[in-house]
Structures are given as structure tokens and as C-alpha cells.
Amino acid sequence: MRQFVSPEQALDYALYGGEDFELVLCLPPPQAEILIQRLGNGAAIVGMITEDSNVELIDSYGIYSTQTLTLSKSFQHF
């Protein structure tokens, strides 16, 4: 994808595109770790629910401080 769009556009597609067909669920950390062990490469922890209402985007390089998630840009199913 990098040869066709900028890194910023690729991130926008990943965050706001509507063609994602992965199963996403929320589990307490101990159960999530057990599921990861059972499924191996078929599962990954991609986020964490906290008491704070802010959403932070974090990758292996750190926090995207300039990127804010917004519902107005997100895919609307209905």
C-alpha cells in the first residue's frame, strides 16, 4: 500500500475504512491471554479499555499525538 498512498492516508484507510472482516471482542486481560495462547497467530490484542474517555492511537513507535479518532469520519453501517 505504501507505494500507492502516503502513510497518513494508509492510517486513515485502516481507521475509517468499512471493509474489515475480523472478529473483535472485549475480554478481561487474563482471558485474553488464554485465548491468544490457544489461537496462536490467529488472535492479537489490539487495544485496552480504560476508565478514561480519551482514545489514544499507539504503535510500536509511540503515540500518534496528532491523530484523533472521530465518529464523523468512521464507517457508518446504517
Q: What is the pLDDT of residue 34?
A: 93
Please compute the mean of the pLDDT values over residues 45-72 and round it to a whole number: 76
CA distance 22 to 13: 15
Task: Give domain status of residue 2, yes or no.
Answer: no
The reply to whether 8 falls in a domain is: no
Is 63 inside any structural domain? yes
**Is residue 15 a part of any domain in this protein?**
no
pLDDT over 90 at 31, yes or no: yes
Q: Is 61 a member of any domain? A: yes
| Residue 27 falls inside a structural domain | yes
The cell numbers describing 60, all together, are: 510500536
Q: Which residue has the higher pLDDT, 75 or 3?
A: 3
Instruction: Look at the chain and report how many structural domains it folds into.
Output: 1
Residue 5 lies in a domain: no
Cβ(57)–Cβ(69) below 8 Å? yes
| Cα 18-4-45 angle, rounded to 5 deg | 45
| Full domain range(s) for residue 49 | 22-69
Mean pLDDT of the chain: 80
